[in-house]
Each structure stands twice: as C-alpha cells, then as structure tokens.
Amino acid sequence: MTAVLADAGYQAREHPDLGEWQPGRSGKALFLHVSAAAEVPPIAGFAEEYPHIPVIVITPDLGVAEFAAVVRAGAISAIAADDPIELLLATLEHAMAGRASASPSIMRALATRVAAGFGEALSIDDVAVGRIRRLAAGATVSRLAAEAGFSEREMFRLLSELYTRIGVANRTEAIVWASRHGLLDEPRSG
C-alpha cells in the first residue's frame, strides 16, 4: 500500500505498532490494517490526541456491523482490504477533508437503523425470523413461497423488504445477522 500511496503523490510510511508511532503535526492520515473488524483496538484516545489525523481501518470483512464498530472505536471510515485502489484513495481524500465515506449499501443500512431508533438489533416479527431460519436451513425462496402461499416473486419482494429493514444486502448477510442476534439458536417465545 505504501507504493500505491507514493504513486498517487502521498508520502507514506509503515509503522508496525500504533502505540509507538509519534506523528506530531506531520501526520496527515493513518491506515490501520486489522485481520478482522472485531480486532480494531480502541483508537478513540489516538483520535483525541491527534484530532488532525483521520484513522481509516482496512479490514477483510466489511459489512454494516463492522463499519459501525470501527467508527465507534474511533475511526473516521473503513474500507475492505479488497476494495479497488481508487476507493482507497477516495476514502483518504474524504477523510483528509473531515468526511467519512461508506458504500451506498452501508449508508442505507445505517440510515435504516437510525430511523429504527439506533437499535443494533432491529425488531422483526416471528414470521420474518422463521423465514430467515428456513433460509439458514437450506430452504429455497421457491419453497418458502409455496409454504406461505405466495408467488415466488412476492416472496422475493418480501425478503428484499426484510433485508432492507435489518440492514443487509442478501440472504447470506441476513443469516449472519440473525445468528449474531441469537435468532437461529432457539425458537422465540411470544
């Protein structure tokens, strides 16, 4: 990444230990590489000590929950490790201008959560939980539609609305979301 930044006209250096880095006034931005978003160290102290240096987290797994976690930890933005170089540079430019950036799907999901009352786990009814459980068990959308008495097209629409409501993009993310919120563990009561 140092070479990519240098090619784009930036001076870049690698520092293996955030705790030992003393940027002073010369630092312009910090890219923090982590192996998982859950492993982001608390960087709020760094952000307070060096408010002029935006922190951008680079992680291999970047979804809505991961983006929210790194921002809560003190970063201004986050990108996926496999994002294109152009996105990395755009994120850097935004961060240096004091702006956070995120993909449209992450922004939509975060906006949905804000509208729902800042809840990490949005309230969904038992029918929706049942549909996610059936998908997790391997049921097809066609099968769900037949079981519920809907057309396949109507079931796709209902699932799409559900995905939007919980802030995910697809069936896999919905299953992961439900698992993280304990909805696949045991039947809900009432």
pLDDT in tens, the chain (190 residues): 778 888 888 777 776 666 666 666 666 888 888 887 677 777 777 777 888 888 888 888 888 878 888 888 888 898 888 888 898 889 999 988 888 888 887 887 777 666 554 444 456 788 998 999 999 999 999 999 999 999 999 999 999 999 988 888 899 999 988 887 778 865 544 4
Chain-centroid distance of CA 14 in Å reads: 25
The helix, strand and coil proportions of the chain, stated in percent and rounded to the nearest 5, come to 50, 5, 45
Token representation of residue 32 = 């923090």
Largest CA distance in the chain: 65
CATH number for domain 2-102, candidates 3.40.50.2300, 3.40.50.300, 3.10.20.590, 3.10.129.10: 3.40.50.2300
Q: Cβ distance 60 to 80 under 8 Å? A: yes
67 HSE (CA, 13 A, CB side)? 21
- Domain positions in the chain: 2-102, 126-180
